[in-house]
Chain A
Amino acid sequence: MSPDVTQRPEQEDVGSFEEVMLPHLDAAHNLARWLLRNEQDAQDVVQEAYLRAFKSFSGFHGGNGRAWLLTIVRNTSYTLLKKNRAVDLTTTFDEEIHVAGHESVSPAAILEHSEDAELIKEAMDELPPEFREILALRHQEGLSYKEIAEIAQIPPGTVMSRLARARAKLKEYLAARMSK
């Protein structure tokens, strides 16, 4: 087999891979950025994820390109999160915020602050990664429960309850920040 024969189809592969996958670059970056909470890590992970996606592109048989790519972005992000576990995951659950007495904050008061992007970003960043990802996928990408189940690799029946817990926790954190 001469090198030429094997190289040409690969060049074409890149073209069709890029056509199918590059339109989802913003979605990929947004998910990685929320999961990693760090711009440089997010960019590195997205680049790595695209490379991994390209290597297994032959296993992609059409269908939902965005969900397929986001699954890889998510897995790549978790690989890095686990690697940095010592510094990362311990900070995600803050008992103090969790038990703080903020029950006095009314839903209406939370609603008033719910358009404060900075406040929401801070509260979101405090959630565990499973909650950050499900909120980003649902609220920012507008994905269906089925697509979310595929990307987060959880049973479809779990999506609703996890989303409900994530939203409740986010409300709680918002209230905690407001009562500070």
Chain B
Amino acid sequence: MTCDEAIKLMDGYLDGELDPITSQTIEQHLRGCQKCDEAYKTHSALIRSIGKATPYYKAPSGLRERIQASLREEIAERSPRSVSRNIPSLFQSKPSERRAVPFGTQWSWLALAATIVLAAIIAFNLAPRLQRPGADQFLATQLIASHVRSLMANHLTDVASSDQHTVKPWLDAKLDFAPAVADLGSEGFPLIGGRLDYLDNRPVAALVYQRRKHFINLFVWPAESGSTGADKRITRQGYQLLHWVDSDFNYWAVSDVSDNDLQAFKQVFEKQLPRR
């Protein structure tokens, strides 16, 4: 590899985006070429420090509410009787232009009806085949939503305690089942508390654990008798989901920690489970 080639690939190497073989070739070149090695070190130090110092513009408070309001307005205006549209929009020209086509509204309703019928036919034909993965995906959506909400709305725990003997009786009293609760603080997953949640059409226990700065929601509810099955791993929207079943319970762990961390969490949890 020549110096020119190495310099050209440097950004990809720095970002860890090259294939392993090319990465290795560059590493070899850097080991042998002091000039390129120095250039790489300066470049990477500079890029990292620029990356860290670049201001991040978080959404200001109020923007979320504005968006939610505009979505609801959009829905209200989709109702068949209302013809006028007044969403204050940056890109819209005068509202009157939207009404220039006299039959536009009726046609769109016919089209919508046709689409719904078509969708129903497709769904009817495909549903039986897709039911299992579909059900899992739907549950995954619910689980992620529940996890996100718990972090968003200051409602991470109903009972905040790292003491399993506080959390467990609290949950037992409110549910028709008694989930196992273990503090895994010594293993790097301290217990933060417990919460009631509602998933898959039933009340469930949510145990909240921490991994460094990240939270893990462990959702627990009774397994159907005789149900077994391999662990399931789902990755969606940057969240990791890990599902397993033991003789009594269904477990779903949801977090933004790495897949490895979540696997480790499961192992530690199973090991610490008090014998029942």
Point out residues on A near B: beta carbons under 8 Å.
Answer: 1, 3, 6-7, 10-11, 14, 16-20, 22-23, 25-26, 28-30, 33-34, 39, 42-48, 50-51, 54-55, 62, 64-66, 76, 79-80, 107-108, 110-111, 114-117, 120-121, 124, 135-136, 138-140, 144-145, 159-160, 163-164, 167, 170-171, 174
Contact = CB atoms under 8 A, between A and B. Distances in A.
B190 to A, nearest CB: 25
A160 B11 CA distance: 7
Given A43-B63, A111-B49, A160-B17, A54 B54 contact: no
Interface of A is mostly: helix
Contacts of A18: 68, 71
Contacts of B126: none
Interface of B: 8-12, 15, 17, 42-43, 45-47, 49-60, 63-64, 66-68, 70-72, 74-75, 78-81, 87, 89-91, 109, 112-113, 116, 137, 141, 144-145, 148, 152, 236-238
B70 A65 contact: no
Contacts of B17: 144-145, 159-160
10 contacts: A3-B80, A18-B71, A19-B145, A19-B148, A22-B64, A30-B56, A108-B42, A111-B45, A115-B49, A159-B17
A120 B50 contact: yes
Nearest to A19: B145
A14 B74 CA distance: 10
B245 to A, nearest CB: 24
Contacts of A22: 64, 67-68
Nearest to A138: B15
Interface of B is mostly: helix
A173 to B, nearest CB: 11
A42 B43 CA distance: 31
A130 to B, nearest CB: 15
Contact of A29 (B63, B75, B79, B137): B63
Given A20-B237, A170-B50, A44 B70 contact: no
Contacts of A19: 141, 144-145, 148
A51 B49 contact: no
A7 B137 contact: no
A50 B71 CA distance: 8
Given A14-B75, A17-B71, A34-B57, A23 B148 contact: yes
A17 B112 CA distance: 19
Closest A-B pairs by Cβ, 7 of them: A139-B51, A29-B59, A33-B57, A164-B11, A114-B49, A19-B145, A160-B12
Q: Which of B12, B52, B54, B58 counts the most chain A CB atoms within 10 A?
A: B54
A2 to B, nearest CB: 9
B15 A145 contact: yes
B55 A43 contact: no
Given A80-B90, A163-B15, A114 B71 contact: no
B71 A51 contact: yes
B254 to A, nearest CB: 13
B156 to A, nearest CB: 16
Contacts of B49: 111, 114-115
A19 B17 CA distance: 31
A135 B54 contact: yes
Contacts of B109: 1
A28 B56 CA distance: 11
